[in-house]
Amino acid sequence: MDFLTILQILDSTIRLATPLLLACLAGLFSERAGIFDIGLEGKMLAAAFVSAAIAFVSGSVWIGLLAGIGVSVALSALHGVASITFRGNQLISGVAINFLAAGLTVVIAQDWFQQGGRTPALEGLARFSPIELPFASALADVPIFGPIYAELISGHTLIVYLALLAVPLSWYILFRTRFGLRLRAVGENPGAVDTAGVSVVGLRFAAVAICGMLCGIAGAYLATALQAGFVKDMSAGRGFIALAALIFAKWRPWHALYACLLFGFLQAIALRPNVIEEVIGFKIQIQLLDALPYILTVVILAGFVGKAIPPRAGGEPYVKER
């Protein structure tokens, strides 16, 4: 296996980890505020469809992205109304959103574009194109560093860089700002926040809105950057993998990055079975490779990664007690 192959695998790792990372951070904000969100998957899927459809119709990926964020935030608001305002069960509300998105996207896509539940392929400005960082081609011939810069670091779409930037930003917001302190507090003990004179409902809606935005970007990335258009069920369980990564990361932003990179790596090597065969010396069934991220998800969710303590008030609607 040569150096370039390694770089290519790592390059795919980053591309594939990006939607996971965005969804994982989305879940992080929501769950840190005490709202469990099993509907990440549905929000991503809805955003993927809407962003592709609107980008195709308008010819602008930016309008598509905004529309994707819009629909995801709307679904988040639905989750918020159900679980914060009406104190409903957060799991049921999330599951409902997943079903809603899985069904509606295909039905609307079929009715709209008549292409078997997909959107037409996106081209040109209707899609995010890779960004060539300065001097990438000029430096490509420099040994070691050149290929790393040109292959691995340069040449991703804007959203990839955004997602990576979101990690330190999330960390800063959560641990270095007033908003972050209150957000973490409301997920641990909403009573403490309430008696301190801060609105529990307001904070939780803010968290859910951030979650919606990030999921929207993740979905738009799937349909307008990673691929060129929407296909049925294209989120492919990424919302659930993101949840597993979130647990794996124990609800911490930097660890979320590492966890998502690990999942991204597993997805990336599944794309190159021949490389695997070359390294380990025998052939592994491609289906098994494809299943690896999901197997890891199950292992993590079954609690094999040590004790992960979720935010203490997570999943519980807040009711003022006497």
Partner 1 sequence: MSDAPAIELKGISKAFGPVQANKDISIRVMPGTIHGIIGENGAGKSTLMSILYGFYKADKGEIFISGNRTEIPNSQAAIAAGIGMVFQHFKLVENFTILENVVLGAEEGALLRPSLAKARAELTRLSEEYELKTDPDALIEEIGVGMQQRVEILKALYRQADILILDEPTGVLTPAEADHLFRILRGLREQGKTIVLITHKLREIMDVTDTVSVMRRGEMTATVKTSETSPEQLAELMVGRKVLLRVDKMPAKPGKTVLEIENLRTTDDKGVERLKGVSLNVRAGEILGIAGVAGNGQSELLEILGGMTQGTGNIRLNGDELDLTGKYSDGQSRRARSIAHVPEDRQSKGLIMDFFAWENMAFGYYNDDAYNKGAFWMDNAALREDTARKMEKFDVRPPNPWLTAKNFSGGNQQKIVVAREIERSPELLLVGQPTRGVDIGAIEFIHKQIVALRDAGKAILLVSVELDEIMSLSDRIAVMFDGHIMGERLPDQTDQRELGLLMAGVDGSDALAVAVGG
Least distance CB 40 / partner 1 (angstroms): 24
Q: Give the integer Cα–Cα distance in Å for 322 and 307.
A: 33
Binding of residue 188 to partner 1 (CB under 8 A): yes
Binding letters toward partner 1, positions 297-316, x by CB under 8 A: ---------------x----
Would you call 172 helix, strand, or coil by DSSP?
helix
Residue 37's alpha-carbon distances to 26, 56, 85, 91, 98, in angstroms, are 9, 30, 15, 7, 10
* 297 and 246 Cβ atoms separated by less than 8 Å: no
* 31 and 267 Cβ atoms separated by less than 8 Å: no
Of residues 85, 129, 137, 177, which one binds partner 1 by CB under 8 A? 177
Would you call 44 helix, strand, or coil by DSSP?
helix
Q: Give the integer Cα–Cα distance in Å for 88 and 91.
A: 9
Q: Give the integer Cα–Cα distance in Å for 279 and 232.
A: 34
Least distance CB 189 / partner 1 (angstroms): 5
Binding of residue 322 to partner 1 (CB under 8 A): yes
Q: Position 264: which residue type?
A: G
Decide whether 263 or 318 has the Cβ nearer to partner 1.
318
Least distance CB 196 / partner 1 (angstroms): 3
* 87 and 319 Cβ atoms separated by less than 8 Å: yes
Site for partner 1 in 203-242 (CB under 8 A): none
Residue 27's alpha-carbon distances to 34, 207, 210, in angstroms, are 10, 9, 9
Least distance CB 194 / partner 1 (angstroms): 7
Binding of residue 200 to partner 1 (CB under 8 A): no
Binding of residue 249 to partner 1 (CB under 8 A): no
| Contact region with partner 1 (CB under 8 A), list: 52-60, 196-204, 248-256, 289-297 | 196-204
| Contact region with partner 1 (CB under 8 A), list: 43-51, 59-67, 179-187, 206-214 | 179-187
Site for partner 1 in 137-176 (CB under 8 A): 175-176
Binding of residue 178 to partner 1 (CB under 8 A): yes
Q: Give the integer Cα–Cα distance in Å for 24 and 28.
A: 6
Q: Which residues bind partner 1 (CB under 8 A)?
A: 175-182, 184-185, 188-189, 191-198, 312, 320, 322
